Amino acid sequence: MMNYKVGDRLKIEGNFCTIRFVGVFPKWPSSTTYGVEWDNCNRGKNCGVYEGKTYFKTASRFGGSFIKESALSKKVHTSVTFWQAIVNRYMSTSEWDIFYLGSKKIEAVGIEKLNEKNKKLKSFTKMSLADHLICDALMDDGEMQLVKENLINLTELDLSYNLLSNIDYLCQIISHLTNLQTIDLSGNRFVGRIPHNASYLFTQVKSLSLVDCGLDNEQLRNLFMIFPSIVKLDISKNALLDIEDEKLVFPKSMKELDFNYNKLKHLSQNLFGPNIEILNMSHNEIEFVEVGFSLCLKNIDLSYNRINCWEAVDQLNANFPQLYSLRVNKNPLLWKDDISSFYEVIGRLNNIKIVNGSFLSDELRYEAELFFVSKLRDGETSLNKSLKRWELLSHRYRITPTSMVPMKTGLDQVLLEVSLVDQDKHKTEHLTVLSSYSVRYLKCICCKKLNMNMFRIKIYHGVSSEVVDELDRDFYTLSHFNINDGDTIYLKTK
């Protein structure tokens, strides 16, 4: 008979799950049945309900399954203790004369060789035991002593995607790793409340990864009590919705936070600790930036969110004066990733050095500012005049109220059908553009269409059948040159 209980973690045919029910099930009345909730909800068949009766609950509608004990015994992977995993991973039978198979200890021979390998193990500073079926089974006193004696120099430990669910068991292991600085616990699921035990306080741990652990705010809060000196924290893929809990305070020591692939809808003040420098918030559901101020934040990733207005970018510039790297690609505001939007992002930010992964030269920043200012002057976009960015740009480029035209509506940014003539090849194409396009962007799309090098061409507007006007101001919009529907654009190699 199997001895699994509710809360235990299993790996069945390569899939992780948590036991949510153990008992009699009407479909198999003569056998013990296990109800499991799969980490991958696509693996399940139900939500713990059978014939109208709820046996257990799952987070998703089809995240659970009922499994007969005899079937489970054939499909489940055999779990091991922490020390057994070390033996199986680093003490292979070809080099060592000791190994484990499940809980069965194979007799060791060759004491001199064992001592030699133990000495080598003591020199390890990094150890990876990812996906090694480590469970919460307690080690005996001998195994615990071996951990304490042989891992004295270990600074980095990867325990991701194992079968750990009991934080107390984990803390017992860490208490013997006095030099441990980095630990990865991703993919484990700590069931229920994580108690704060005052005897467990690991100030030496500086980097903690908890990706895909199904955490909630209370569990996070208690983990911060156990690891109070974290500098780098990764809590991605935890489906976290709201972290504005007043009791949830991130460690003051923290400088880097990965929060991507969660479900946060706006930036919370909780995220901006006094020393946070790097913040990754990609793949959330953030629509706006209304809170948060930091003199330390230098790098923020907001890509793949729901930002759809320029005011959000302006707020980032106002709230984070030291910001030098920003990712905002793949938001509704910049979904096309065109040059025009890229330059406008640069133009709205004071100290930016990197945008969407691209390093910005001084020349590029200057060109982008000219482009942004031209859009402001032509009424193609707007900037709140109470912002310091407006004050800086208006002084630098002498923007005055008389040089501005009213902000245009969407109806003013009309589609234009223009003829495109390659004067070298005597070839004509037709193109649809927006009046808000910059000359530089027009060059880009024209050259793509005609397979030309945009840095080796000149572009002209056919004012009449006999008169052409060179479009030599790359960051001015087409509307600035009075290009109208039906006009002709000429391209010629320099």
Please state the domain extents for the chain: 9-75, 79-254, 259-407, 415-493
3-class state of residue 314 by DSSP: helix
Please provide the DSSP assignment of 163-224 as one string: ----HHHHHHHHTT-TT--EEE-TT----S-----TT---TT--EEE-TT----HHHHHHHH
Which residue from 282, 331, 325 is spatially nearest to 311, judged by alpha carbons? 331
Find the Cα–Cα–Cα–Cα dihedral 376, 381, 384, 390, rounded to 10°. -30
What pLDDT is stored for residue 196 in this prediction? 61
Q: Rounded CA gap, 458 and 84, in Å?
A: 71
Compute and round to an integer the Cα radius of gyration of the chain.
Answer: 31
Domain 79-254: top CATH class: alpha beta
* Fold classification of 259-407 (topology level): 3.80.10
Residue 322 near residue 351 (C-beta atoms within 8 A): yes
Whole-model pTM: value is 0.79
3-class state of residue 111 by DSSP: helix
The residue type of 95 is E
What pLDDT is stored for residue 414 in this prediction? 67
* Fold classification of 415-493 (topology level): Ubiquitin-like (UB roll) (3.10.20)
Per-residue pLDDT of the chain in tens (494 residues, 90 and over written 9): 678 999 999 999 999 999 999 999 999 999 999 999 999 989 999 999 999 999 999 999 899 999 999 999 999 999 999 999 999 998 764 444 444 545 555 445 444 555 566 667 889 999 999 999 999 988 888 888 999 999 999 999 999 999 999 988 899 999 999 999 999 999 999 876 666 666 789 999 999 999 999 998 889 988 999 999 999 999 999 989 878 776 788 999 999 999 999 999 888 777 888 899 999 999 999 988 877 788 999 999 999 999 999 999 999 999 999 999 999 999 999 877 678 899 999 999 999 999 999 999 998 999 899 889 988 888 889 999 999 999 999 998 888 766 665 655 554 556 788 899 888 888 888 888 878 777 887 888 888 788 888 778 899 998 765 778 899 887 777 888 888 888 999 998 88
* Fold classification of 9-75 (topology level): SH3 type barrels. (2.30.30)
What pLDDT is stored for residue 32 in this prediction? 95
Give the contacts of 150 (CB within 8 A, at least 6 positions apart).
Answer: 118, 121, 122
What pLDDT is stored for residue 249 in this prediction? 86
Q: Rounded CA gap, 215 and 364, in Å?
A: 43
What pLDDT is stored for residue 109 in this prediction? 46
Asked, colleague to colleague, whether 9-75 and 415-493 share their fold, the answer is no
> What's the angle, vertex CA 10, arms to CA 5 and CA 12, rounded to 5?
130
Which residue from 195, 186, 239, 249 is spatially nearest to 216, judged by alpha carbons? 239
